[in-house]
Chains A and B, each alone.
Chain A
Amino acid sequence: MMSSAVTPNPADLMGSGNEQHVTEEERKWAVAKRYWYLITLIVPVLLIFSGVMAIETQSGQWLWLLVTVFFIVIPIVDFICGSDSFNPSEEEQAVLKDDRFYVKILYAATALQWAGLVSMTCVVTQGDFSWFNILGAILSVGAMHAVGLTMSHELGHKMNDKNQVLAAKICSACCGYAHFNIEHNKGHHKDVATPEDPASSRMGESLYQFALRELPGAARRGWNLEASRLNRQKRSVFSIHNELLQSLAVTVVAYGIMTFLFGWMALPFLLISAAYGWFQLTMANYIEHYGLLRQTLENGRFERCQPHHSWNNNFKASNLLTLHLQRHSDHHAHPTRPYQLLRDYQDAPELPHGYPGMMGMALIPPAWRMIMDHRVVEWAGGDMEKVNIDPAQREEIFSKFHNPKLATA
């Protein structure tokens, strides 16, 4: 299974998906799924609910609700509900593609995202809660930010739709991740699964080492990409047309207003929550391409990104929550494909758990390596030359895993 992933079927690359027999049960699920996507809205709604309950009951533990749901409840629900094998047929895709319902969910999520941030900032600054419960609020808001960035990610890929691009900027501004849409589309998608990409993790690199490389690296790349675009337009990088600065201005104004309304304590709360949101997005980036490497062609260019250059995952609950972001192989092969059309690839390398569970493991580097390193080796068929390796650990990883006999077999 894994070795065939290295040379995928051309039909998979062109986007016909996997041939499969659709059962009656799957058909029912496909119909219901349209409404199950509304579950993404539950993230900001739960945050608002937890804030209201904390004030009503004067019990600060409520502020831990969302982070608990994300890291404990969702992995359990994933385990119970299992995976989602349904891929829409060509005819179904044609209908799904133009259904505006799916875009409206994204707009509603963007508005609720901001409502969640404002309400929780109000609750934390106006209530009398312990530092421990405020920490819960920070992690909960950060988790909402990270899920919000998956909305922003989906919106930001629709460059031919001005409203969606605008909503993407407003959504990213919620946690001050101003460079996200520029950097992600033009930087990460171009360089994915190469040593040049700060947002593709390398085998042997811990989540924390990756964060120190990715966070500044992506910010720098986003800024440089926008600067070169403005340079081509013969405009100053500090002009009103700088989209990165536009998004940043929304954050500065909104955070300024909240600080004015709720007092000075609002500012550190907002900034620390945003920083944690960034970190949680970094966790997602860490998971998505760990160790995977695109080969260099004879002309010196990297081969085109294919489904086996992303870790895929197909658990029902976490896939609904992240708008099919976990069907990452299809997303990278076809970045403009709307989330409701993304398909599962049977041949793509597969993660053993959904993102929330994998994030929990990434926080403990030895656990992560125990679970993931052998999967990377299997993916590469034992040939470590085909793996994106942390240069500092190259020798150690080669001596431990490189098996040229297996590689040439």
Chain B
Amino acid sequence: MATYQCPDCGYVYDEKVGCEHEGYPAGTQWEDIPEEFPCPDCFVREKPDFEMLEGGK
């Protein structure tokens, strides 16, 4: 399971946790998150801007 971080606000997407509120249940893999996924905290950075913290491919 990998984690990815928003470079602006520091939000961390953890595949184990997912992002239930935005409709991505726990266990949703990063590769299954759409490209236009905005950071669910600041909404100004998108998936391609995120930086891998650990375990990513």
User: In the complex the two chains form, is B23's CB within 8 Å of A335's CB?
Assistant: no
Query: With a CB–CB cut-off of 8 A, which chain B residues contact A159?
Result: 40-41
* Most chain B beta carbons < 10 A, residue from A229, A231, A233: A233
Q: Kindly state the interface size class of chain B when it binds its partner.
A: 10 to 19
User: In the complex the two chains form, is B23's CB within 8 Å of A336's CB?
Assistant: no
User: In the complex the two chains form, is A233's CB within 8 Å of B44's CB?
Assistant: no
Chain B residues 22 to 57 lying within 8 A of chain A, measured CB to CB, are 22-24, 38, 40-45, 49
CA distance A334 to B42 in the complex (A): 8
User: In the complex the two chains form, is B44's CB within 8 Å of A189's CB?
Assistant: yes
Known A231-B23, A232-B22; judge A336-B42 contact (CB<8 A): yes
CA distance A230 to B22 in the complex (A): 8
Query: With a CB–CB cut-off of 8 A, which chain A residues contact B42?
Result: 157, 189, 334-336
CA distance A16 to B33 in the complex (A): 32
Known A229-B23, A233-B23; judge A190-B41 contact (CB<8 A): no
B24 shortest CB reach to chain A, Å: 7
Cβ 8 A contact of A229, one of B22, B43, B44, B49: B22
CA distance A185 to B40 in the complex (A): 9
| B residues adjacent to A (C-beta < 8 A) | 8-9, 11, 20-24, 38, 40-45, 49
CA distance A407 to B29 in the complex (A): 47
CA distance A190 to B42 in the complex (A): 9
CA distance A229 to B40 in the complex (A): 12
Chain A residues 139 to 196 lying within 8 A of chain B, measured CB to CB, are 157, 159-160, 185-186, 189-190
Query: With a CB–CB cut-off of 8 A, which chain A residues contact B9?
Result: 334-336
CA distance A230 to B23 in the complex (A): 7
User: In the complex the two chains form, is A305's CB within 8 Å of B22's CB?
Assistant: no
Does any Cβ of B come within 8 Å of A374's Cβ? Answer: no
* 5 nearest A-B residue pairs (beta carbon): A232-B23, A336-B9, A233-B23, A335-B42, A159-B41
CA distance A234 to B40 in the complex (A): 18
Known A190-B38, A232-B23, A232-B24; judge A334-B8 contact (CB<8 A): yes
Query: With a CB–CB cut-off of 8 A, which chain B residues contact A189?
Result: 42-44
Query: With a CB–CB cut-off of 8 A, which chain A residues contact B21?
Result: 229
Chain A residues 314 to 362 lying within 8 A of chain B, measured CB to CB, are 332, 334-336
B53 shortest CB reach to chain A, Å: 17
B1 shortest CB reach to chain A, Å: 21
User: In the complex the two chains form, is A335's CB within 8 Å of B43's CB?
Assistant: yes
Known A190-B38, A229-B23; judge A335-B44 contact (CB<8 A): yes
| A residues adjacent to B (C-beta < 8 A) | 157, 159-160, 185-186, 189-190, 229-234, 304-305, 332, 334-336
User: In the complex the two chains form, is B44's CB within 8 Å of A190's CB?
Assistant: yes
Q: Which residue of chain A lies nearest to B9 when distances are taken between CB atoms in the complex? A: A336
User: In the complex the two chains form, is A160's CB within 8 Å of B41's CB?
Assistant: yes
B54 shortest CB reach to chain A, Å: 20
In the complex, given contacts A229-B21, A231-B23, A232-B23, what are 14 additional A-B residue pairs having Cβ atoms less than 8 angstroms apart?
A: A157-B42, A159-B41, A185-B43, A186-B38, A186-B43, A189-B44, A190-B38, A190-B43, A232-B22, A232-B24, A305-B44, A332-B44, A334-B9, A336-B9
Q: Which residue of chain A lies nearest to B48 when distances are taken between CB atoms in the complex? A: A301
Query: With a CB–CB cut-off of 8 A, which chain A residues contact B20?
Result: 233
B31 shortest CB reach to chain A, Å: 16
25 pairs across A/B with beta carbons < 8 Å? A157-B42, A159-B40, A160-B11, A160-B41, A185-B43, A186-B38, A186-B43, A189-B43, A190-B38, A190-B43, A229-B21, A229-B23, A230-B23, A231-B23, A232-B24, A233-B20, A233-B23, A234-B23, A304-B45, A332-B44, A334-B8, A335-B9, A335-B44, A336-B8, A336-B9
